[in-house]
Amino acid sequence: MTAVLTGQVAVVTGSASGIGLASVEALLAAGAQVVLVDRDAKALAAQCERLGSAAQPLVLDLLDPAACASLVPRALALAGGRIDIFHANAGTYVGGDLVDADTAAIDRMLNLNINVVMKNVHDVLPHMIERGRGDIIVTSSLAAHYPTPWEPVYAASKWAIDCFVQVTRRQVFKHGIRVGAISPGPVATGLLADWPAQKLADARAAGSLIEPAEVAEVILFMLTRPRHMTIRDVVMLPTNFDL
């Protein structure tokens, strides 16, 4: 891969595993310096040691309001005072019948999937507006576009954040900032741990899962379009999804 992002600084939340980690790896391969944000200090340290000096760890619990508010200034301090790319990826999952859901888990998921994303984007925008340039990518989901019957709470969070992405994009494009959402179908990450075992086994057998690296390839495509072009929303799903 050519180093098309050389000199750029990216910040990725939820980056110790899954889509976030795959995004980090793709960004590093394209020449960017990356600040990895995650609450799992041990996993973050291990990944940054493996990835090399261009990967900087930032241990944060985004559900803690004070810690969440410190993300942008701390990332700027680690990255030499600039953020070119912000990938709001951190999220969690609640699936199954609504009547069976734990209400504390619902609160936590809505806070992380919606409130934290909005606050992170809010906090990084002044820096990008001042510089007249920036890219914001938000990890959404196919569930934002399709009323998935087994995940009413999760789907609702992604519908909300997809609306937020599209409205924010229209507010900030005049400042040279592009905002887009990546909306994958089922991805082989730890978030699928809540799936029924048989459903997960059937999906794997049918080839109905996407790999995190495949999502990262599309994120890199979005980021490397000419500046006059915004890829505002990519929906990607396994070809066999509907089996």
Active site residue 146: no
CB 29 within 8 A of CB 1: yes
Helices (H), the chain: 18-29, 41-51, 65-69, 71-78, 103-110, 117-131, 152-172, 197-205, 212-223
C-alpha 202/C-alpha 30 separation (Å) is 35
Helix axes 117-131, 71-78, angle to 10 degrees: 50
110: which 2 tokens?
A: 């809505």
Distances (CA, A) of 15 to 26, 91, 130, 142, 195: 12, 11, 26, 20, 22
Give me the catalytic one of 86, 93, 154, 195.
154
Close Cβ partners of 124 (under 8 Å, ≥ 6 residues apart): 11, 72, 83, 86, 134, 136
CB 142 within 8 A of CB 154: no
Catalytic residues: 154
